[in-house]
Amino acid sequence: MMPSSLIRISFLLGLTSAAALAEPGNFIFSGPEVTKLDWNAKCMVSGDLNADGQLDLAVVNGQRGRIEILYRRKPGAEVPRIRPITPDRWEPDLEDAPYLRETLPFDGNVGSLALGDLDLDGRLDLIYGGNGEGVVIRFREKDHSWSDPLELEVEDPIGGTRSLLARDQDGDGLCELIVFSKEGLERIPFEGRKPKTGKLQKLSSSRAKDFRFIDYDDDGADDLLYLVPGSDRSLRSLRWSGTGFLSEISHSLSIQSLSLSKKAPVSDGVLSFASVDDAAGDLLTFHFADAVAKERARKTWKPRIRNVFSDDAGEFLHALADFDGDGIADLVVCAPKVAELRYMRGRKDGGFDPFVSFPFLRGVSALAAGAFGPDGKASLLVASEEEGILGVCRLLPGGRFGFPDTLPIEDVTVAIACADLDEDGRDEALLVTKKKYDYRLVPLGMDDKGDWTIGKAIELDDLERDPSGLLTKDIDGDGDRDLLVLSGRDPALIFLRGENGSFVAGAEKSLVRKSVLQGLSPSRLGWGDVDQDGLEDLLVGGKGFVRAVGWKEGQLKVLDQFNARAGDEEVLCPRLLDLDGNGELEAIFYVAGQGAFQVLERAEDEVFRYARSIEVGALEMNELIHLGAGKLAKSRLLAFGKSAFWVMPLKGDASSAEVSSRHETDLKEVRYSTALFGDFDADGKDDLLALDSSNHLIEFLRYLPARKAWASIMHFRVFEKNVHYRGRQGGQREPREILVEDLNGDGKDDFALLVHDRLLTYLQQ
Measure CA 98 to chain center. 42
Mean pLDDT, rounded, of the chain: 88
Q: Find the angle CA(121)-CA(124)-CA(127) to the nearest 5 degrees.
A: 120
User: Quick check: 92 pLDDT over 70?
Assistant: no
User: Quick check: 661 pLDDT over 90?
Assistant: yes
What is residue 729's predicted lDDT score, i.e. its pLDDT?
A: 57
The secondary structure of 524-554 as a DSSP string is GEEEE-SS-SSSPEEEEE-BSEEEEEEEETT
pLDDT, mean of residues 87-103: 66
Distance CA 249, CA 111 (A): 29
Higher pLDDT, 215 or 217: 215
Residue 674 host element (H or E):
strand 674-678
Distance CA 744, CA 746 (A): 6
How much of the chain exceeds pLDDT 90, in percent? 67
User: Residue length, the chain?
Assistant: 765
pTM, to two decimals: 0.72
- What CA–CA distances, in Å, run from 696 to 241, 712, 720, 727? 42, 17, 8, 18
What is residue 14's predicted lDDT score, i.e. its pLDDT?
A: 34
Q: Per-residue pLDDT tens for 648-659?
A: 887 645 457 889
What is residue 721's predicted lDDT score, i.e. its pLDDT?
A: 63
How much of the chain exceeds pLDDT 70, in percent? 89
